[in-house]
A and B are shown apart, each in its own frame.
Chain A
Amino acid sequence: GEDVEQSLFLSVREGDSSVINCTYTDSSSTYLYWYKQEPGAGLQLLTYIFSNMDMKQDQRLTVLLNKKDKHLSLRIADTQTGDSAIYFCAESRGPAGTYKYIFGTGTRLKVLA
């Protein structure tokens, strides 16, 4: 189908690692993104990965990409209460210059103190 899918909820304890999963649909997507949305706010770009990469690490964030299975994940190490938010993955579709983003359904992360 056309949907980019994510699990709806994730709850972790402070200090643990969080892993948020995403299944996308377009194998030709050049870039895949992770965004964070806090209540009542817009989207903050967390990180992105180019489609020819398997992994990207950026401080506490690790992105893993399995292109064969069209599976993307975001790992947050040492999760803090400030990480509580909704996390969206997004894939870029279309040729360069005319691409558009398709967002996943969002995963609501709750960090317990």
Chain B
Amino acid sequence: GAVVSQHPSRVICKSGTSVKIECRSLDFQATTMFWYRQFPKQSLMLMATSNEGSKATYEQGVEKDKFLINHASLTLSTLTVTSAHPEDSSFYICSARDQGAGRETQYFGPGTRLLVL
């Protein structure tokens, strides 16, 4: 199946710093990628839809100035957590839509665990 990678897999940062997470589709092009957040033992919450070449669409309650999304190419989307605080600590997962699959299917990255001290 299609492969999506994320980098880094884990990151620890100090409060107040910014952290960038990359999401790449390795063997297909993705005009649409999605960013999710998962708290321990909870489901995935969609944060935003990342559209190549245009602005991301954020879900209600997600601060767009806090979580900056850039989808500069058909294989790369980045999520930057700005001025991170301990409450931003979470597991962040991206997914990419494989349009070539002929159906609406998302393939997920392995996730990035962020710990803000």
Q: How many residues of A contact B (CB 8 A)?
A: 23
* Contact for B43 among A31, A41, A96, A106, CB less than 8 A: A106
The smallest C-beta distance from A2 to any residue of chain B, in angstroms, reads: 11
Q: Is B1 an interface residue (CB 8 A)?
A: yes
Q: Is B113 an interface residue (CB 8 A)?
A: yes
A96 to B4, CA, bound (A): 22
Return chain B residues, CB-CB under 8 Å to A50.
103
Q: Is A102 an interface residue (CB 8 A)?
A: yes
A104 to B42, CA, bound (A): 9
Chain A's interface: helix, strand, loop or mixed, by majority? strand
Return chain B residues, CB-CB under 8 Å to A48.
103, 105
A102 to B106, CA, bound (A): 12
Say whether B104 contacts A30, CB under 8 Å: yes
**A/B pair count, beta carbons within 8 Å:** 50
**Interface membership of chain B positions 69-95, coded 1 if the CB is closer than 8 angstroms to chain A and 0 otherwise:** 000000000000000000000000101
Say whether B110 contacts A100, CB under 8 Å: no
A24 to B108, CA, bound (A): 21
Return chain A residues, CB-CB under 8 Å to B28.
none
Return chain A residues, CB-CB under 8 Å to B49.
100
A45 to B109, CA, bound (A): 11
Interface residues, chain A, CB within 8 Å of chain B?
A: 30-31, 33, 35, 40-45, 48, 50, 88, 92, 96, 99-106
> Beyond the given A100-B49, A105-B42, could you list 11 further A-B residue pairs with CB under 8 A, ordered by the A residue number?
A30-B104, A31-B105, A35-B108, A41-B110, A42-B108, A42-B110, A42-B111, A45-B105, A88-B43, A100-B46, A106-B42
